């Protein structure tokens, strides 16, 4: 059991600033966030894999009205990024001004980083590469 | 093969909006009373109740809502089950009712749904709604419900040139239709300028792109062919039904400019009914956000991918257009008591199809489609309905 | 008329208990994998998923759970709906699956259920469970879930002379059976003395009268007659199903010593199956509390009102008795991940009926009954199952 | 609308130490807690009615493990009482020792009162008459 990737460990890697994705043992597909079954081949055996951290910006928003826990952090970017390895993840956008969202261009290359919110929680983030 | 046995013989909704001083069960009972005793269907004829409600646990601290609501509404002892699929809770309850009738296990059933949202703060409601997205991978990093649709909007704008003004025009149309609907939360037209007020909820979505927080309930009665005529001369048949899901995470979807579950659910419903988008006289779609109506109008095949905004601009989806969409005002202006919406959509179809939609009556009303979806499109339900004499 | 088309062709559960380090979706996927690919049913054959879960909103801050769980378990895109009826959530999902098959809308469907309870404190879990009672009129004055059953116990003791020791004997039997069940939360026999330890939860109910807080999931596959044989030589037919409700408030019930919804649901199920309690070889009943098993054994007609305690004392309900009840250990000792329980009960019936219950196998196993109820008896579901070759 | 009894008003009456039940306008049945339809006759029109406050104890328990909000108040009685007017309600039991629950007898006459919990909320309660 202990080698099987779990969601708990996935989240812990992020908190430790050491992002890992799952890799399907059958077909090699890189998957994040975790799934119980590989979309590509139906496999259910996974292992951890590091990623290059390179990706491109697919889409994004700027949150102004949030759940209580996050209201203090507004406005903030949330984006979808496609990693070089093919999988897409939801993350914060870093190093850009949330008050000028229209200046952000889709498709720009981004690189993986981390941001610690006012709540003390660490999020994955991407900044322009 | 079209569904054979399912007829709607009555349908009603409460007023939507802030229903001050009334609890969830009282609102629910009002809709049930209107759709049963108020419509000539004795409560004793009801054999089972299928109830939609999204998140009473967080909004009014109440689970196990089906027997509670059924009992309060005078349906004591009946099998009563709650169905939850976020904003599609109502339509999944309806599908359970359809299967109950088609299976022959029951002759006459109630499908009803309710939500009481205004008793908590906006932030708390936002938090409750966020439970419709993926808590581990979306909500936990501060992504909200409007935020997900904003991400889809940005992708749609980039790919098809849809503009913030196109979205605002959806809101203008919604308010124009709702202005004539006495059960709507907002009964006032708004100008394009007002709809464009830059009060961002999740950029580029502004206040007027978002459906409001509402209380409300709706109910319909389904019965089989043998019994339908005893309640009404104009039953409405549900001829096709489709449901599909998609990954909860937007990031796992194939496309951001189309909701794949909506496409799949509508294809299944059309195939079952043996009909095509051309056969639809009008549609009620899930416009929780203005962009959602534009995308839905494409996903259900009314317009080609990317052509939804143009249809709004040209008035094709207006009440007097070729393909009216949300003729009574949609979620945007009528209100969106989340779990109740799917059943309310069925009520709208029922009233329009039998020609009793009053000032909101569409001219052609033989066949129509309802599209209800849950959360950020992870559940979609499409039903196709037809007046029995059409 | 008995149900015609519904066959169970596989069934599996995870271990129940504190499943450390695993989230709701991971537990769910484990049960689904065991019941599908692990049992020779390809996931591609599954056409829809009916999912039970009671209160993930409060326990893991997640609503809209059906598509989330289905997607994680590799059932992407399927219609996936969540059914909620407190502790009967699992059995209401099962009934939705039954109607789906009987209606002919689907050939093969998955019914699965899960709950993750141990990630919150006991007080918080108590609060979440209290959402199964009436918030306005019961929970809001501090009445708890065990408290409601305690009130029923006091009435039963007064009317029929049932004793605290009788209740404790139910716990002793549960632990004795569970000791042989490797998937049980507690796999250790307990003495009568230990079961009588006066640690009151809600007087007169003590710690050992109460089912524990658990994580777990269970799944079964239903298919129609045409397809059943392609998966197994020994399908189990669901021949009768009944569901009923009662007022949520205990104070509004006619009787405190019998749960009227259980009586009504079992009567409907027996009538549909054309069978009587005499025809049942064994039963799995909802023993959330020891008194609940005693009352259920009367409500399903195995014993006369008030005779349930005597049956326990005389060993009639033991594994080697005339009418074994909860032969694998029940909720009490196997665990009670609330929403999952109804589907787990179906798994137990399936395994016992096909003779694959291992050390927990009952000697006669042609026909059996499952009884699942929700909250404090406001929902009850009874299903009667029979080996297809019996 | 304002004369139609509501649940909000029912709760308010209790907070004001002025318990009222519903009375069915069609058949006169006294109903509490509120229902949307009369169990006796199917009527849906109700008005407020005062009650004598006399009743008898139907069953009870003593809560030891409670939701967080109530844990401080444990142990406390919760009982079902049948009012003279025929309806049954859930209430606290007052003036009895929750550490000696076995001394309480079912069927005893009780009379309506009120108790304010540590939370500041007022509950209906009954004490031996
Ligand atoms: Zn693979
Ligand atoms: Zn009356």
Residues A30-46 have pLDDT tens digits of 999 999 999 899 999 99
Q: Which among B214, B56, B82, B207 is positioned nearest to B146, based on CA atoms?
A: B207
Q: What is the model's pLDDT at position D1?
A: 37
* Distance from residue A88's CA to the centre of ligand 1 (Å): 16
> Which of the other chains make 3 or more beta carbon contacts under 8 angstroms with chain C?
A, B, D
- Does residue D34 carry a pLDDT above 80? yes
Please tell me which residue, C125 or C384, carries the higher pLDDT value: C384
Burial tier of C194 (Cβ tally within 10 Å: 0-12, 13-18, 19+)? middle
Given this model, what pLDDT does residue B133 score?
Answer: 86
Query: Catalytic residue at B365?
Result: no
What is the chain A residue with the closest CA to B149? Answer: A61
By CA distance, what is A74's nearest residue in B?
B142
Rounded to the nearest angstrom, the minimum Cα separation between B21 and chain D is 6
Closest in A6, A37, A42 to C21, CB measured: A6
CB D40 within 8 A of CB D56: no
In C, which residues are within 8 Å of A37 by CB distance? Answer: 29, 43, 72-74
C194-216 pLDDT, tens digit per residue, is 999 999 999 999 999 999 999 99
A70 by DSSP, 3-state: which? helix
pLDDT attached to residue C1: 85
Q: Tell me if C28 sits within 8 A of C66, measured CB to CB.
A: no
Give the per-residue pLDDT at B223.
98
Confidence at residue A75, expressed as pLDDT on a 0 to 100 scale: 96
Quick check: is B286 catalytic? no
Q: Chain C: nearest CA to B64, how far in angstroms?
A: 5
Shortest distance between the Cα of A42 and any Cα of chain C, in A, equals 7
Q: Are B158 and A59 inside 8 Å of each other by CB?
A: yes
Looking at the complex, does the CB of residue C377 fall below 8 Å from at least one CB of chain D? no
Q: Interface of chain A against chain B, CB under 8 Å?
A: 7, 11, 33, 35, 39, 58-71, 73, 75-76, 78-80, 88-92, 101, 106, 117, 121, 123-124
- Selecting from D7, D64, D76 the residue whose C-beta is nearest the C-beta of C201 gives D64
Instruction: Report which bound ligand comes closest to the CA of D29.
Output: 2
- Per the CB < 8 A criterion, the answer to whether C388 and C160 are in contact is no
pLDDT in tens, C36-93: 999 999 999 999 999 999 999 999 989 999 999 999 999 999 999 999 999 999 999 9
Residue D2 has pLDDT above 70, yes or no: no
Q: With touching defined as 3+ CB pairs under 8 A, do chains D and C touch? A: yes
Q: What is the pLDDT of residues D73-83, one digit of tens each?
A: 999 999 999 99
- CB pairs < 8 Å spanning B and C: 210
Higher local confidence (pLDDT), C127 or B85? B85
C26-31 mean pLDDT: 98
Q: Which residues contact D120 (CB under 8 A, 6 or more apart)?
A: none
Residues of chain B with pLDDT under 50: none
Taking residue A99's Cβ as centre, other Cβ atoms within 10 Å add up to: 9
CA of D37 to the centre of ligand 2 (A): 8
Pick the catalytic residue: C83, C87, C210, C288?
A: C87
With residue C241 as reference, give the H or E element that holds it.
strand C236-245
Other beta carbons within 10 Å of C294: 32
Torsion angles phi and psi, residue C359, rounded to 5: -65, -15
**Which residues does chain C have within 8 Å of residue B60's beta carbon, measured at their own beta carbons?**
135
pTM across the whole model: 0.97
Question: Is B77 within 8 Å of C264 (Cβ atoms)?
Answer: yes
State the smallest CA–CA distance between residue D38 and chain B in angstroms. Answer: 7
For residue D1 the two structure tokens come to 């609308």
Per residue of chain A (129 residues), give pLDDT as tens: 347 899 999 999 999 999 999 999 999 999 999 999 998 999 999 999 999 999 999 999 999 999 888 989 999 999 999 999 999 999 999 999 999 999 999 999 999 999 998 878 899 999 999
Q: What's the CA-to-centroid distance between A123 and ligand 1, angstroms?
A: 27
Q: How much distance in Å is there from the Cα of D42 to the middle of ligand 2?
A: 6
Please give the ipTM for the structure prediction. Answer: 0.96
Name the region of A94 (left: φ>0; alpha: ψ -120 to 50; beta: rest): beta
DSSP for B19-40, written as a single string: -TT--HHHHHHHHHHHHTGGGT
Q: Looking at CA atoms only, how far is residue A90 from chain C in angstroms?
A: 16
C150 closest CB neighbour out of D61, D106, D123: D61
CB contact under 8 A, D36 and B29: yes
Shortest CA distance from D43: residue in chain B: B74
Query: What is the distance between the alpha carbons of residues D63 and D73, in angstroms, rounded to a whole number?
Result: 9
């Amino acid at each position: 059991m202990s080698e099987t990737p779990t969601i708990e460990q996935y989240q812990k890697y992020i908190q430790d600033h050491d992002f890992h994705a799952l890799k399907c043992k059958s077909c090699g597909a890189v998957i994040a966030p975790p799934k119980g079954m590989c979309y590509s081949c139906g496999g259910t055996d996974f292992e951890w894999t590091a990623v290059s951290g390179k990706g491109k910006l697919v889409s994004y928003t700027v949150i102004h009205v949030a759940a209580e826990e996050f209201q203090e952090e507004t406005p903030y970017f949330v984006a979808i990024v496609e990693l070089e390895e093919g999988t897409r993840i939801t993350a914060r956008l870093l190093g850009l001004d949330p008050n000028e969202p229209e200046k952000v261009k889709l498709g720009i290359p981004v690189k993986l980083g981390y941001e610690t919110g006012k709540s003390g929680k660490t999020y994955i983030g991407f900044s322009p590469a | 093969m079209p569904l054979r046995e399912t007829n709607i013989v009555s349908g009603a909704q409460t007023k939507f909006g802030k229903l001050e001083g009334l609890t969830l069960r009282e609102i629910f009972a009002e809709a049930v009373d209107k759709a049963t005793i108020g419509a000539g269907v004795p409560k004793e004829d009801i054999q089972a109740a299928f109830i939609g409600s999204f998140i009473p646990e967080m909004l009014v601290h109440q689970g196990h809502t089906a027997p509670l609501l059924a009992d309060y509404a005078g349906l004591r002892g009946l099998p009563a089950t709650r169905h939850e699929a976020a904003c599609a809770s109502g339509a999944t309850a309806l599908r359970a009712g359809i299967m109950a009738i088609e299976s022959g296990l029951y002759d006459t059933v109630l499908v009803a749904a309710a939500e009481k949202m205004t008793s908590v703060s906006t932030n708390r409601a936002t938090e409750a709604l966020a439970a419709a997205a993926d808590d581990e991978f979306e909500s936990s990093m501060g992504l909200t419900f409007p935020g997900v649709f904003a991400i889809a909007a940005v992708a749609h704008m980039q790919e098809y040139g849809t503009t913030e003004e196109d979205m605002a025009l959806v809101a203008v149309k919604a308010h124009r239709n709702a202005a004539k609907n006495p059960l709507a939360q907002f009964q006032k037209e708004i100008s394009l300028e007002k709809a464009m007020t830059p009060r961002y909820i999740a950029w580029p979505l502004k206040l007027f792109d978002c459906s409001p927080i509402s209380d409300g309930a709706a109910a319909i009665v389904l019965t089989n062919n043998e019994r339908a005529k005893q309640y009404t001369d104009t039953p409405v048949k549900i001829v096709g039904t489709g449901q599909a899901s998609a990954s909860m995470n937007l990031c796992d979807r194939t496309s951001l400019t189309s909701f794949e579950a909506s496409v799949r659910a509508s294809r299944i419903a059309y195939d079952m009914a043996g009909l095509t988008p051309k056969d639809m006289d009008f549609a009620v779609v899930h416009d929780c956000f203005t962009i959602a109506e534009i995308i839905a109008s494409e996903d259900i095949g009314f317009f080609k991918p990317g052509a939804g905004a143009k249809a709004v601009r040209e008035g094709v989806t207006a009440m007097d257009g070729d393909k009216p969409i949300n003729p009574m005002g949609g979620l945007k202006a009528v209100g969106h008591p989340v779990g109740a919406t799917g059943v309310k959509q069925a009520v709208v179809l029922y009233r329009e199809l039998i020609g009793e939609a009053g000032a909101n009556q569409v001219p052609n009303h033989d066949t129509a489609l309802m599209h209800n979806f849950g959360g950020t499109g992870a559940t979609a339900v499409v039903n196709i309905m037809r007046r029995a004499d059409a």
